[in-house]
Amino acid sequence: MSSNPETAPSLRPNTDFGFRSVPVAEKKPMVRAVFDSVAPRYDLMNDLMSLGVHRVWKRGFIAGLQPRPDSTLLDLAGGTGDIAFGWRARGGGPVWLTDINPSMLAEARKRPYDADVAFLVVDAEAIPLHDRSVDRVSIALGLRNCTDKPAVLAEARRVLKPGGQFHCLEFSRVQVAALAPAYDAWSFQVLPRLGRAVAGDADSYQYLAESIRTFPDQATLAAMMRAAGLSRVRHRNLTGGIAAIHTGWRL
């Protein structure tokens, strides 16, 4: 029997795809298929799934980026552009709006934008920018879909200028026990049904709910950021810990 990993599936490293364990090489195409499916209804579904709360989270997140005309932003997993366009609207400088899914960027291009917004198809694990080239790196509700999260964090630090900041908005671990039953019911009973009714796709929204539960909690993500070389790592819980904003500096 061959010991070659290419011919011995049991020896291939696995990762999570929601609650499923899948070979690492298979996750990116599976995630891409999810977002290809949901892209046309992505913004509407975000509003329905969060009852509009994601907009409040994102406004606070953008404010924390401290947009200035002389600062540049790399927005990873930028999707339909909420963070990138919000940065520009608040007076931020040039922004790279990136996503691994061309279908998501195609939706972003339907919105008004100016010449200081650059659209790039980018795998956040291998960012095609020079070392120490941007002032801010953001990723909002996208890190949990990345296969190699430590690689994303290391790449974010690499492209930051000294004194630059990394900001991550992501679903996290609920800190208010009374919220947990209602949140679980909403996630696993309501969201897939919404996905089926509005986007014609229950399975993708089942995955998205599961991906939230398998994502590292607040303290674990903070430790991962420190391991990637980021300093002054902090986090702030939102809506009882349903989401959290993590920040770190390249010093």
Quick one: how far is CA 149 from the chain centroid? 10
Burial class for 249, CB neighbours closer than 10 Å (0-12, 13-18, 19+): middle
| Beta carbons of 108 and 121 less than 8 angstroms apart | no
Count of H-run helices and E-run strands, the chain: 10, 9
Residue type at 44 in one-letter notation: L
Which tokens in the block code for residue 151? 């690689």
Residue identified by tokens 């609207």 is: 89
64: β partners: none
Rounded-to-integer distance, Cα 222 and Cα 149, Å: 12
pLDDT of residue 43: 95
Residue identified by tokens 């790279």 is: 96
Helices 149-159 and 218-227: angle between axes, nearest 10 degrees: 50
Mean pLDDT for the chain? 94
247: β partners: 167, 234
Task: With CA atoms as reference, report the closest residue to 166 among 32, 69, 92, 61.
Answer: 61
Is pLDDT above 90 for 173? yes
* Structural domain 37-175+206-249, CATH architecture: 3-Layer(aba) Sandwich (3.40)
Task: With CA atoms as reference, report the closest residue to 174 among 146, 139, 213.
Answer: 213
Q: What is the mean pLDDT of residues 10-36?
A: 90
pLDDT of residue 57: 98
**pLDDT digits over 182-235, tens only?**
999 999 999 999 999 998 999 999 999 999 999 999 999 999 999 999 999 999
Domain ranges across the chain: 37-175+206-249
The band of 10, judged by pLDDT with boundaries at 50, 70 and 90, is very low
**pLDDT digits over 56-92, tens only?**
999 999 999 999 999 999 999 999 999 999 999 999 9
Q: In the Cβ-directed half-sphere of 36, how many Cα atoms lie within 13 Å?
A: 7
Burial class for 198, CB neighbours closer than 10 Å (0-12, 13-18, 19+): middle
Rounded-to-integer distance, Cα 59 and Cα 64, Å: 9
Is pLDDT above 60 for 245? yes
Residue identified by tokens 């975000």 is: 46
Rounded-to-integer distance, Cα 192 and Cα 209, Å: 8
Q: What is the mean pLDDT of residues 33-45?
A: 94
**pLDDT digits over 103-129, tens only?**
999 999 999 999 999 999 999 999 999
Rounded-to-integer distance, Cα 59 and Cα 127, Å: 26
